[in-house]
């Protein structure tokens, strides 16, 4: 039964671009990672970890690998000792940012309208 459910879900996401995008970037940590790399490209792992408040090493590594596999982020190693690795947004990752900025603006407006709170997306990372 599990296999048939996955097939139904997969077929639905194949037909719906929004669900496909949410599969790519919809985890708790991927959006803050992308946002940080948009603010400052070429971040080292530890700097990225400091900027994405609350993320564990395991989750940061997992999300970076998934974003790299999907072509949104690239990992650059200088081959030096000690290792120096930086992460960068790739073109597909950069092309996603205007849509995320639009969602951020919508979210801020929605929060103000419904909760009289808000903040900025940078505060949420």
In contact, 85 and 44? CB cutoff 8 Å: yes
Cβ neighbours for 120, distance < 8 A, ≥ 6 positions apart:
104, 108
Which residue segments constitute the domains of the chain, with CATH numbers given? 28-124 (1.10.10.10)
Cβ neighbours for 101, distance < 8 A, ≥ 6 positions apart:
121
Taking the complete model, does pTM exceed 0.85, yes or no?
A: no
Q: Is 43 left (phi over 0), alpha (psi -120 to 50) or beta?
A: beta
Cβ neighbours for 23, distance < 8 A, ≥ 6 positions apart:
13
Sign of CA dihedral 35, 39, 45, 48: negative
Per-residue pLDDT tens over the stretch 66-117: 999 999 999 999 888 888 899 999 999 999 999 999 999 999 999 998 886 5
* pLDDT at position 10: 60
* pLDDT at position 1: 42
Report the mean per-residue pLDDT for the chain: 86
């Amino acid at each position: 039964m599990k296999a048939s459910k996955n097939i139904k879900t997969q077929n639905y996401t194949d037909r719906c671009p929004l669900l496909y995008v949410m599969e790519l970037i919809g985890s708790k940590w991927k959006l803050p990672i992308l946002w940080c790399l948009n603010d400052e490209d070429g971040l080292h792992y530890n700097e990225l970890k400091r900027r994405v408040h609350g993320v564990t090493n395991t989750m940061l590594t997992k999300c970076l690998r998934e974003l790299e596999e999907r072509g949104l982020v690239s990992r650059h190693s200088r081959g030096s000792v000690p290792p120096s690795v930086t992460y960068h947004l790739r073109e597909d990752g950069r092309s996603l940012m205007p849509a995320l900025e639009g969602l951020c603006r919508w979210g801020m407006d929605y929060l103000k309208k419904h909760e009289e709170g808000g903040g900025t997306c940078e505060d949420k990372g």
